[in-house]
């Protein structure tokens, strides 16, 4: 989980985001933040070669439960249990061409966003989609 500013609780209102890594169209990060544009700048400063590309953002009344719901939905796509990085298409699924296609990645992320919204609904988590 990202480090929040002093005095900010992960249970405060904020945003859940999906960003795609700049150097691999098959990797996304799902995280939480109080301020999306600042978080994107911070992510780019964390030793990555290319900036992250925002793909979906939701405004939520409590960040942590919403992030946990999104991570649970994507648990089988998780790359490393200690990181918030997920495969768009796990290596055991799809073709190498699909896992490297930006167009296929975008359509798959749209589907993942729908799964997450369904998960929010089922968990009783209110959300508002922020359109990019």
pLDDT value for 1: 42
Q: Has residue 2 got a pLDDT over 60?
A: no
% of residues, the chain, pLDDT over 70: 91
> Rounded to whole angstroms, how far apart are CA atoms 3 and 33?
9
Rg of the chain's alpha carbons, rounded to an integer? 14
Mean pLDDT of the chain: 89
pTM for this model (two decimals): 0.88
- Long-range contacts (CB closer than 8 Å, 24 or more residues apart) made by 106-113: 106/55, 109/18, 109/20, 109/28, 109/55, 109/56, 112/18, 112/28, 112/56, 112/74, 112/88, 113/18, 113/55, 113/56
> Tell me: the pLDDT tens digits for 5-54?
566 788 999 999 999 988 899 999 999 999 888 887 777 765 667 788 89
**The pairing of beta strand 53-60 with beta strand 85-87:** unpaired
C-beta pairs of 47-53 under 8 Å, 24+ apart in sequence: 48/21, 48/22, 48/23, 49/22, 49/23, 50/21, 50/22, 50/23, 51/22, 52/19, 52/20, 52/21, 52/22, 53/19, 53/20, 53/22
Q: What is the pLDDT of residues 55-90, one digit of tens each?
A: 999 999 999 999 999 999 999 999 999 999 999 998
């Amino acid at each position: 989980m990202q480090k929040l500013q002093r005095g900010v609780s992960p249970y405060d209102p904020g945003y859940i985001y999906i960003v795609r890594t700049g150097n691999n169209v098959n990797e996304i990060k799902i995280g939480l933040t109080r301020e999306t544009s600042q978080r994107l700048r911070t992510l780019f400063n964390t030793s990555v070669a290319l900036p992250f590309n925002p793909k979906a953002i939701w405004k939520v009344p409590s960040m942590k439960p919403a992030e946990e719901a999104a991570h649970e939905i994507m648990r089988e796509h998780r790359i490393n249990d200690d990181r918030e990085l997920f495969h768009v298409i796990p290596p055991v699924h799809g073709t190498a061409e699909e896992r490297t296609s930006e167009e296929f990645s975008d359509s798959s992320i749209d589907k993942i966003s729908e799964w997450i919204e369904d998960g929010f609904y089922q968990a009783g988590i209110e959300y508002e989609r922020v359109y990019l």
